[in-house]
Amino acid sequence: MSVFLVGAGPGCADLLTLRAARLLATADVVVYDRLISDEVLALAPETAELIDVGKRPGGSHNQALINDLLVSLGQRYDRVVRIKGGDPFVFGRGGEERDALEAAGISVEIVPGVTSAFAAPLAAGIPVTHRGVARGVCVITGHTMGDDAVDYAALANDQITLVVLMGVGNRASIASQLIQGGLSASTPVAAIESASTPQQRIVRCQLDDLGDTAISNPAVLVIGAVAAHGHDNASLLHHSHLPCFP
């Protein structure tokens, strides 16, 4: 009995790792999140049970219930694939699921995925680091506010690129705090919606306009001088003449 915690990458099926694709092809059960595409799920056998545990506004699955479900499935089936968008250990709560499974005596294997924190900017042609422009990159969650909030003011450094995941809903507050921390109001921002998919869209603005700029989920926010780089076309991946996986 084994449960595999698998990263699906940023969206497009051919950005899966080979190991992820092979595990899907032999799965007894696939437990998947909201952003997993139909093309990825199509790699599972027709006999596999597909279980949607995607978290949605007003109808979210509780994480404790997901943990319990994985334990139950892991006790009943030989091969359970738990697949998450991006990488399961980058704001994917994969660590919590691993801990619950191991506490129940179930074997767990982690299969890293391409995190959208880097794949989304790349799909837009934006380098998260760039000689003479950005000396480093910081990946943060924009989901939490209040007592659990990130100290955005402390991250206001024009030499560092900020990549914000799950930050669309709180973008106005994030921008305000960064400006209060000393980051220029004119700092470039790029939002990459539905990265690597045919629906990809790139929205550009400057920091003080971020709260009033229309951006749709799912999107990754890139804040910093590098956000002025790149292009506004559809994903580089979909301009390729290579056939799509599989």
Question: How confident is the model at residue 54, as a pLDDT?
Answer: 85
- Per the CB < 8 A criterion, the answer to whether 165 and 138 are in contact is no
Ordered structural domains, the chain, with CATH: 2-114 (3.40.1010.10), 117-228 (3.30.950.10)
- Per the CB < 8 A criterion, the answer to whether 179 and 171 are in contact is no
pLDDT band at 246, cuts 50/70/90?
Answer: very low
Give per-residue pLDDT as tens, 155-178.
999 999 999 999 999 999 999 999
57 prior amide bond cis, ω within 30? no
By three-state DSSP, how is residue 22 classified? helix
Q: Within a 10 A sphere around the Cβ of 100, how many other Cβ atoms?
A: 21
Measured between alpha carbons, how far is 24 from 17 in angstroms, rounded to an integer?
Answer: 11
- What value does the mean pLDDT take over residues 84-88? 94
What are phi and psi for residue 72, nearest 5 degrees?
Answer: -60, -45
Helix, strand, coil % in the chain, rounded to nearest 5: 30, 25, 45
Q: What's the pTM value of the predicted model, to 2 decimals?
A: 0.88
Residues forming the active site = 33, 55
Residue with tokens 């990946």: 139
DSSP structure class, residue 227: G
Measured between alpha carbons, how far is 219 from 221 in angstroms, rounded to an integer?
Answer: 7
Question: How confident is the model at residue 236, as a pLDDT?
Answer: 52
Question: How confident is the model at residue 244, as a pLDDT?
Answer: 47
Measured between alpha carbons, how far is 83 from 31 in angstroms, rounded to an integer?
Answer: 6
- What value does the mean pLDDT take over residues 194-205? 93
DSSP structure class, residue 46: T
DSSP structure class, residue 188: E
